Amino acid sequence: MKILLVYPEYPDTFWSFKYALKFISKKAAYPPLGLITVASMLPSDWETKLVDMNIEKLKMEDILWADYVFLSAMSTQIQSALHVIDRCKALLTPVVAGGPLFTADPEKFDSVDHLVLNEAEITLPPFLKDLENGHAKHMYSTNEFANVEQSPAPDYSLVKLNQYSSKCIQFSRGCPFNCEFCDITALLGHKCRIKTSDQIIFEIQNLYDLGWRGEIFFVDDNFIGNKKILKEAMLPALQLWMKEHKYPFHFTTEASINLSDDPELMQLMIDAGFLSVFVGIETPEEVSLEECNKVQNKNRDLISSVKTIQTAGMEVLGGFIIGFDSDTPGIFRQQIDFIQKSGIISAMIGLLNAPTKSQLYKRLNAEGRILEKWSGDNTSNAMNFVPKMDKKLLDKGYQEVIRGVYGGKAFYERVKSFLVDFNPGMKNKNKVSLRKIMAFIRSIFIIGIFDSNRKYYWRLFFWSIFNRRDLFPMAITYAIYGYHYRKSYAKIF
């Protein structure tokens, strides 16, 4: 068999980093981890080829070469995925599709030849067996969860490593919490299933041997879902490997806010090489946290919790949501004030939407408020349900929040206030490279000369040189991030 693995194109969104990547001559942030893991599950005598449409075009000859096209996507990639399916059908190449997009809404994709849903460790083997016997079915799904200790290492040999700014691996699946708006527990369960330390070391060693140096993103939905194993096994093993190899990587991940309650765990993560962590803050409004069952965020000083993680030496990236039923017009000012005071530089702010597998979707559907399926776009004002607040007022307030957080003066003030006291727990061991020097020079021309916020760029530039010279590279990096975020929200600005 000849298998073409295709990853559809992302639209311009907050996390695409499209505009920032141009500064470092990269085409995409992360390679498609799911697809290259599936590639490792295929028979060894099959030929495989990967086309990530975020870094290269999908050519007609690629599709004609393949016996089957394997397609995986997230919700935000739906338009590109549908286009790929149409192209494959026109060329009579059958499509096998899986991943979050297809698992959440399989009824949308009747034209796909074979839907291999949920976790491939369970559903792919029976498909492959039926395919071999000549009677493959249209759909394969399961209510079971895979044993990730049996999950193979991703096949990074398929990836054009130099086209990405970061690489990614997975330690665990699942989350112990049950936020109403989230579909993770429906897709991956409440129990955090974890890989062994040996698996993780094998995967990072593989990336090291392939020549990668720099950032690795642990894509876990909640990295600290099993603190005991992290503390006793995985993080000590990772720290030892990093020390032996002179710290070639730095890590980032996602975790719940209760990380701030555990100084020992934070220190272990820092010692192992973690520089940043994404935390779902959602809202500073206690009533809204109660509404969405965000129990881990309730009854705490959220700004203090963020500051605790930052003081420990890890940057906090944050997720924020507007549009809860209990939100009032005062929420817009609350969100702006919280983000500015917390010093969260990368704050993803989106209007509430209801993924199909979430508890929120079930509730709103029962109330007759669902309008359409979620697009997955986190930079538009689209909502797939009727909100309690007047939609025009909600849209206006949302735009006020974006401008209040990413407008030049507000953004650069937040960067400066963060850098004043921040001391990275892990010093970046990576040497200065030509690519980084070029990114710095491009920032001077693109932001420092031609951008409308150039005066704030230069203020930060000279302030960091005279006050935090050790963090000057971070200051320039954040200026580039701010440029990307403003471009991503261009319709608002």
Q: Where are the domains of the chain?
A: 2-140, 165-352+399-421, 434-488
Dump the DSSP string for 18-55: HHHHGGGT-SBS---HHHHHHHTTS-TTSEEEEEETTT
Find out whether 31 and 167 touch, Cβ atoms under 8 Å.
yes
Topology of domain 2-140, CATH: Rossmann fold (3.40.50)
Strands (E), 61-117: 68-72, 95-98, 114-116
**Residue that the structure tokens 């000012």 belong to:** 333
Pairing of strands 193-194, 172-173: antiparallel
Q: Is 17 left (phi over 0), alpha (psi -120 to 50) or beta?
A: left
Q: Count Cβ atoms below 10 Å from residue 246 Cβ, excluding itself.
A: 7
The two tokens of residue 118 are 């949920």
Report pLDDT for 378.
Answer: 56
Report pLDDT for 375.
Answer: 58
Q: Cα separation of 65 and 69, whole Å?
A: 10
Q: Which CATH class is domain 165-352+399-421?
A: alpha beta
Q: Cα separation of 165 and 402, whole Å?
A: 26
Sequential pLDDT tens for the chain (493 residues): 999 999 999 998 888 899 999 999 999 999 999 999 999 999 999 999 999 999 999 999 999 999 999 999 999 999 999 999 999 999 999 999 999 999 999 999 999 999 999 999 999 999 999 999 999 999 999 999 999 999 999 999 999 999 999 999 999 999 999 999 999 999 999 999 999 999 999 999 999 999 999 999 999 999 999 999 999 999 999 999 999 999 999 999 999 999 999 999 999 999 999 999 999 999 999 999 999 999 999 999 999 999 999 999 999 999 999 999 999 999 999 999 999 999 999 999 999 999 999 999 999 999 999 997 655 565 678 899 999 999 999 999 999 999 999 999 999 999 999 999 999 987 765 567 788 899 999 999 999 999 999 999 999 999 999 999 999 999 999 999 999 999 999 889 8
Q: Is 134 left (phi over 0), alpha (psi -120 to 50) or beta?
A: left
Report pLDDT for 491.
Answer: 86
Report pLDDT for 428.
Answer: 63
Report pLDDT for 204.
Answer: 98
Q: Cα separation of 382 and 405, whole Å?
A: 20
Report pLDDT for 432.
Answer: 72
Of residues 58, 62, 52, 63, the one with CA closest to residue 26: 52
